[in-house]
Amino acid sequence: MSGIMGNISQVWPELWLLGAACGVLVVDLFLSERTRMLSYLLAQLALLGAAVLTVAQISGEQVLVFDGHFVHDAMGDVLKVFIYLVSGLVFLYSRDYLLDRGLFKGEYYVLGLFGVLGMMILVSAHSLLTVYLGLELMSLSMYAMVAFHRSSPLASEAAMKYFVLGALASGMLLYGMSMIYGATGALDVAAVAEAAGRAGENDLALRFGLVFLVIGIAFKLGLVPFHMWLPDVYHGAPTAVTLYIGAAPKIAAFAMAMRLLVDGLVPLLADWQPMLVLLAILSLAVGNFVAIAQTNLKRMLAYSTISHAGFIALGLLAGTPGGYAAAMFYAISYALMAAGAFGIIIVMSRAGFEADDLDDYRGLNERSPWIAGMMLILMFSMAGVPPTLGFFAKLAILEAVVDVGRVWLAAGAVAFTIVGAYYYLRVVKLMYFDRPQGERLPSASLDTRIVVSANSLAILLLGFFPGALLSVCTLAIG
């Protein structure tokens, strides 16, 4: 009995969120349209409770429970806290959007909470089986969320593409896991690492499985050439759902890469490192160059996501604790920046007007100087302009790459970053130097505008003091 209770004591946040999500689902059945705001409040309370339980359990020690399938460690705790934070921002920003369009239903928040639960399991996974369970719980929730606006043909098409390609990627990942299990005889990532260290140079099955494993990770991160779903899903999904998909899941995808490649297959670093080099270069090139041609802001940010995923891959391929910490720092920074950018789109939109075309931001400074200023901070940060958080996130990655002697790779990343600065600065140019089209003003509620502003200002503040967050990531990686 004491062993069971010891196991359960390490998963209180997951159990709380599971119970809370089921509670929101049941309570929502008895709510009318006038009282449905309670579902939103309960969802936020669920995230807050999970955050409190997670912080209360922080110890810095690694604890394995459930026969090694689940790990409680510092990296997991830090990533979970930021997943809660970003998801809370997403739920708040989405509220006005859903209300304006008659989509304010408890299902959005229930699916969102189950998606967060999947991310938590993925972050703390310590076996191939747990990784797959967490990934599928997160993915299935997001497939349903993309199709949430059932009367929208664009959303239905995006959901179908996402589901088909996601299922294909999950199948490849599962096939890779089965090959690795067959080669090592283990599901626990530590046991896999030990077996991989003993494997000979000619262990073809292990390396064959590794290829499929990298494909699955690349799909979830959105790395080229496994990025095909990103632009269509970002564009077709309701902006509230695009906001959800584009933020916290990137933190979970980073955790998935860490658990599988670093914790499980670091003895094969020489094999997966060249794969990530190629994926990173292609992602930086395709993401930045194709984004220039976009006229839709959501599609532009989708290709931007691809280039940012390339930077995360650069940190991982460095193969050092400094590189892993830099990649973690970058994943968290990007999630905060993406939440703010899509939050601005929601602040600018209203029923019948999505505010997702670049032309919608012409002359924004004349209509709403404050919102234009917040968008400027976010665009500068994504472009890597000092002293914003995005600049120091890119700098940390470049330092890690240079430290392992890949100066040419760092130089290429800088060159592609300069290319990428064009389409971010184009948004700034439209806001400050073009004449406004119409008199549309931000119509979001006051609390949404306050939190979006706080989100943007936090990006600037963390840029002045990046050492604090980077130190947390370094300590978490250990």
pLDDT tens, N- to C-terminus, the chain (478 residues): 445 555 787 888 999 999 999 999 999 888 888 888 899 999 999 999 999 999 988 877 888 888 888 888 889 999 999 999 999 999 999 988 898 888 888 889 999 999 999 999 999 999 999 999 999 999 999 999 998 888 888 888 889 999 999 999 999 999 999 999 988 888 888 888 888 888 655 578 888 889 999 999 999 898 988 888 889 999 988 889 999 999 899 999 999 999 999 988 888 888 899 999 999 999 999 999 999 998 889 999 999 999 999 999 999 998 889 999 999 999 999 999 999 999 999 988 887 778 888 888 888 888 888 999 999 999 999 998 888 999 999 999 999 999 988 899 999 999 999 998 999 999 999 999 888 776 666 667 888 889 999 999 999 999 999 989 999 999 988 7
Phi-psi region of 350 (alpha: psi -120 to 50; beta: other; left: phi over 0): beta
Q: If you compute the radius of gyration of the chain from its CA atoms, what whole number of angstroms results?
A: 21
> In this predicted structure, what is the pLDDT of residue 2?
46
Of 125, 147, 379, the residue nearest 253 (C-alpha): 125
Q: What distance in Å separates the CA atoms of residue 122 and residue 210, rounded to the nearest whole number? A: 19
Q: What is the pLDDT of residue 100?
A: 85
pLDDT recorded at residue 455: 93
What are the E-state strand segments in 202-286?
Answer: none
Q: What is the DSSP secondary structure assignment for residue 385, as one 8-state letter?
A: -
Q: Cβ(302)–Cβ(418) under 8 Å?
A: no
Report the pLDDT value the prediction gives residue 362, as an integer from 0 to 100: 87
- Go through the chain and tell me how many residues it has: 478
Contact 393, 333 (CB under 8 A): yes
pLDDT value at position 6?
A: 59
Tell me the one-letter amino acid at 218: A
Nearest-angstrom CA–CA distance, 254 and 79: 10
Q: Report which of 192, 217, 187 is spatially closest to residue 203, judged by C-alpha positions.
A: 192
